[in-house]
Structure 1
Amino acid sequence: MLTDKAIEKLSVDAKRQHTVKQKSDDDEKRGFGRLIVRAQPSGNVRFWYRYRQLNKWVFLELGAYDRKGEAGLSLAGARLKLQELIAKRASSNDGDLKTHLQEEKQTHRLAVERHRKAIADEAEQAKESTFRKLLETYVEYLEKLGKQSSKDVRSLFRKNVFEAWPELSAKKAADVTVPELTEVLRKMINNGIGRNTAKLRSYVRAAYTLAMQASNDPTVPVSAQLFNLTQNPAASIPALSQFNRTRDRTLDAAELGYYIRRVEQLPSLVTRSLILLSLYLGGQRPTQLARVRRENLDIVASTVMLFDPKGKRTSGPRQHILPLSSKAISLFKPLLHLNQEILFSSDGKVNIRIETVSNAVTQISNDMAESGEARSPFEMRDIRRTCETMLAAMGVSSEVRAQIQSHGLGGVQNRHYDRHNYMTEKRHTLDTWVKKLARVRAEHKLPK
């Protein structure tokens, strides 16, 4: 059996006798080959793997010998490498280890070439990283996070940048200037869409920020790293806060009573149920409620699970579980009878378009304003604010209201310390809320 001492003696003998000296390791089983060490007169000592193939001796070089294993293979390292080759030979065709190793080398070479080509392609793509590609990458990032706003952002970019400014869209993102972006926003303001102008400026700034931070953030897609940005042109433009007006419209009891009556007259079961459930569940966001599937509904436990992707979450939407009153269950049951996995769907294949729901509420608002049932028109989002305001007037704490409407729950206390599920409080509040709505509805009837 080979030892370090024996190898060193072999090297000394080779130098003294000016001839090649060879010694085999007897540590291997018969038929698997041997570890051979060869010492040259020059002092060069190398390990070899010797085995028989078709009645011929085959030698494969393993590497130079180094007792410490730093500048070459130690004896233990050589034996380990030998075992790897024995295993590869056993798994190769006809025990042809040399061919097997050549194929491995070829495979590795091709993999290296593919990797280099991919890097070259990415470098080429970086040279052509346009403003449009930057904005599209940002939308894809929002979609990956499950952000509800992604569709609106894509539409905003398409209408006000890609279609309105094709030459700017094709320009390198790194070369877009502050005056050019300012001109885009000025045109939108002149067209009377100030709110969307503020949104566009905010989204463009976020897109540039995403790309500029991509190299330090592993959650950002690799494609965002290819723009070679050094500045954010949107960051130099004022926030246009004058266009971000906060709405304060709420419905009073009479308006809400008439609203319920009119919603109940909508011909579409799906649209009608979604709007009413949004109200009876304490002002839920219709966009989130519209995504409820059969599996999210538990009639036995009287609960429904929504998913809230809003806020700066990177770990996916937060589960938002709500208790169901008997009224809410009665609204869900007809949807279950449609025998669809997607509850709020006209064809069972895709979710109802939120624009359909919004348009229905807008039509009801216009009809109520025209008939004098409402003091002024309102929007679908005003219903959520109305619920919050009325619940507060009923004495429901801000904490419970936040749990019902799933807002303001991203703070340190709620994320890390408060593990109470508030189900009892939510059930009591929503049961009381349903009774409140029943009284409001009963006191305000539509003229026949």
Structure 2
Amino acid sequence: MVTTHGQLFAELAPGKFIRLAKIAPAGSLEARRMAGDVVMFYWRYTFQNASTRETIGVWDPRAKPKDLKPTARGYSVAAAQEAAREMAVLHYANLDAGGYAAAVAARKAEHQRAKQEKQNLSSFTLQALLTDYADWLQANGKVSARKVRTQFKLHVFDPWPELAALPANEVSEEQIADILRKMIEVGKVTTAWGLRKMLRAAFQMAREAKTNPAVPIKFKGYALKFNPVNDVKVAGGGGADMNPLSGAEMRAYWRSIKHLDTKAGAVLRLHMLTGGQRLEQLRELKTADVHAGHIVLWDGKGKVGTAPRQHLVPLIPEAKRALELCNPVGEYALSVKAGEPLGDNTIRIWAKKLPGNRDFQPKRVRSGVETLLASLGVSKEIRGRLQSHGISGVQDRHYNAYEYMKEKEDALVLLFQYLEDED
């Protein structure tokens, strides 16, 4: 008559062990009768002349005999054998490192490390990354800092709170695409293009943190292995303005602001007569950077680790008068609220509200100035120097300290004369 395992365990005295099977590649499966009808399985093995039992789990008398996986209640004998075999294999594979006990300890340590890393990353969220990037821009004098911070809040933090709370290194290309898609669907293609550029720069800073010493060490904590924005495309945005004001439109715009006796009129005239400088730089003009014959703007474009570049702009007499009407006495020369620069869109709004406005957008003024100066024979280099673009190459960036002030002033005089000429 065959004795079943149930009968075998029932006959086993409490506290006693019984050997059930040999386990390859090492050890054996044992069972022990505990209090009542509870039976516990163990894997027993010998290592370095010491015998050790490792607990497997309790016996489930209702489990199917051939089940190799434990039930919610415990193990069949076959499942206990399989568990013992897996323990033996792990032990055998780690003999040189200390056997089963060392392998289990290493697993626990790795699990704890992964758990700690996950806890650490919980503070390195998408929102934290974008905020740190905006803070870095501000700390490094980048004029785009305020705009970047506003765009992140409007188009990421507020509409996507759950995504903003996700660890930055778990954000996918699809999620980035969804952010931009939502903007494009309501017609904000250009804004979406700009936001993509900002997001890519923020992720790239964290991506480069391990190898670029110019990136603050806090960005290493984001543990970014790739930039999820790289493969997300937005067509139809960015690039140079392809609709500059024509010569006739430039004169019409000048007539609309020439005698405008308001702070708005003075600022718009200053913008025109300094060559259509970038609004982000002009609105940040500090009173300390206003001089008798020129102003100093700070060009914050450039790679990580590069300081803002000083950009000197001559003041022709008419520009100087416009600046005087702005009454630059606080920290910011063009401020309408003490201690603060003009708002991101203030100058654009002022231009939009001009009487009889014919799409006199400041970006069209900037490109219109360059187009007009080109038609008046001003060289590409001088136009670039005046509007602070097109300056590249080692010689220009590091060795050529000449500011071209006379050439820039001559170009501004030509511009003013053209605007004043009725024909």
Question: Which bracket does the TM-score occupy, shorter chain normalised?
Answer: 0.5 to 0.7
The structure that is helix-richer by fraction is 1
Say if 2:214 is the partner of 1:219.
yes
Aligned equivalent of 1:387: 369
For the Cα contact (< 8 Å) 2:122–2:166, is it kept in 1? no
TM-score of the superposed pair, with normalisation by structure 1: 0.63
Distance 1:275 1:133, change over 3 A: same
* Corresponding residue to 1:279 among 249, 253, 272: 272
Aligned equivalent of 1:258: 252
SS at match of 2:421: helix
SS at match of 1:342: coil
Distance 1:221 1:282, change over 3 A: same
* Corresponding residue to 2:200 among 205, 210, 214: 205
Distance 1:122 1:178, change over 3 A: closer
> Which whole-Å CA distance do the structure 1 matches of 2:314 and 2:197 have between them?
37
Distance 1:137 1:294, change over 3 A: closer
What per-residue deviation string (whole Å, max 9, x for no partner) do you get for residues 351-403 of structure 1?
A: 22242211011122x8233xxxxxxx241111011110111111011111111
* Corresponding residue to 2:398 among 388, 391, 416: 416
For the Cα contact (< 8 Å) 2:276–2:362, is it kept in 1? no
SS at match of 1:321: strand
Aligned equivalent of 2:353: 363
Deviation at 1:242, TM superposition (A): 3.1
For the Cα contact (< 8 Å) 2:144–2:280, is it kept in 1? no
For the Cα contact (< 8 Å) 1:249–1:378, is it kept in 2? no
> Which whole-Å CA distance do the structure 2 matches of 1:243 and 1:432 have between them?
33
Q: Structure 2 unaligned segments of length 5 or more: list them.
A: 1-114
Deviation at 1:341, TM superposition (A): 4.6
Distance 1:234 1:252, change over 3 A: closer
What per-residue deviation string (whole Å, max 9, x for no partner) do you get for residues 145-191 of structure 1?
A: 22222222222222222221221211222222233333333222222
Say if 2:155 is the partner of 1:173.
no
> Which whole-Å CA distance do the structure 1 matches of 2:287 and 2:184 have between them?
44
Q: Structure 1 unaligned segments of length 5 or more: list them.
A: 1-119, 370-376, 444-448
Moved over 6 A (4+): 120-123
* Corresponding residue to 2:300 among 299, 306, 309: 309
SS at match of 2:222: coil
Aligned equivalent of 2:408: 426
For the Cα contact (< 8 Å) 1:308–1:320, is it kept in 2? yes
Aligned equivalent of 2:378: 396
> Which whole-Å CA distance do the structure 2 matches of 1:164 and 1:209 have between them?
23
For the Cα contact (< 8 Å) 1:274–1:289, is it kept in 2? no
Say if 2:324 is the partner of 1:333.
yes
> Which whole-Å CA distance do the structure 1 matches of 2:380 and 2:248 have between them?
24
Distance 1:426 1:245, change over 3 A: closer
Moved more, 345-354 or 164-173: 345-354
Aligned equivalent of 2:94: none
Aligned equivalent of 1:163: 158
Aligned equivalent of 1:405: 387
> Which whole-Å CA distance do the structure 2 matches of 1:329 and 1:244 have between them?
33
> Which whole-Å CA distance do the structure 2 matches of 1:436 and 1:137 have between them?
46
Aligned equivalent of 2:16: none
Aligned equivalent of 1:353: 343
TM-score of the superposed pair, with normalisation by structure 2: 0.66
* Corresponding residue to 1:321 among 283, 302, 312: 312
RMSD: 2.6
Q: Percent identity, aligned pairs only?
A: 31
Aligned equivalent of 2:187: 192
Distance 1:242 1:413, change over 3 A: same
> Which whole-Å CA distance do the structure 2 matches of 1:321 and 1:285 have between them?
13
- The one-letter code matched in structure 2 to 1:385 is S
For the Cα contact (< 8 Å) 2:298–2:311, is it kept in 1? yes
Deviation at 1:291, TM superposition (A): 2.6
